[in-house]
Amino acid sequence: MAYVPRFRHLFKILFHMKDSAAAEGLFLEGSIEFENGDVETARLMFYYGTRLDPTLAGNFYNLAVAEEKLHGSGAKAIAAWEKYLDVAERDPRQSDEAKEKVREHLNKIRPK
């Protein structure tokens, strides 16, 4: 069954309110769903997490992984990886090594 955000999350998303704790919770819940094979539910959790905290690069990273797993390495995945890199540049929790690996991956999947 697809993830449906709780009312309090929806309220915050609709009114562009930031909730870092809820975003981190969705990151953790989404990671569990992904590990259990429910990639679509995980993707939705990561997406809503990006809405609740647009500075938490981990949700953007996992969203890109899920997009690529669900839709292949096309335009959606490329856009998701680029968005991750944009956010990761301002998130001190993201290592330079992780960002460089994503750049290398993007170079492989971008059309030539």
* 31: CB partners within 8 A, 6+ apart: 42, 62
Per-residue model confidence (pLDDT) at position 89: 97
Task: Examine the pLDDT at 104 and tell me if it is beyond 80.
Answer: yes
Interaxial angle between packed helices 39-52 and 20-35, expressed in degrees from 0 to 180 and rounded to the nearest 10: 170
Q: Is the pLDDT of residue 15 over 60?
A: no
Report yes or no: 46 and 26 within 8 Å, Cβ to Cβ.
yes
CB 51, CB 82: distance < 8 Å: no
pLDDT band with cut points at 50, 70 and 90 for residue 9:
low
Taking only the tens place, the pLDDT of each residue in 43-86 is 999 999 999 899 999 999 999 999 999 999 999 999 999 999 99
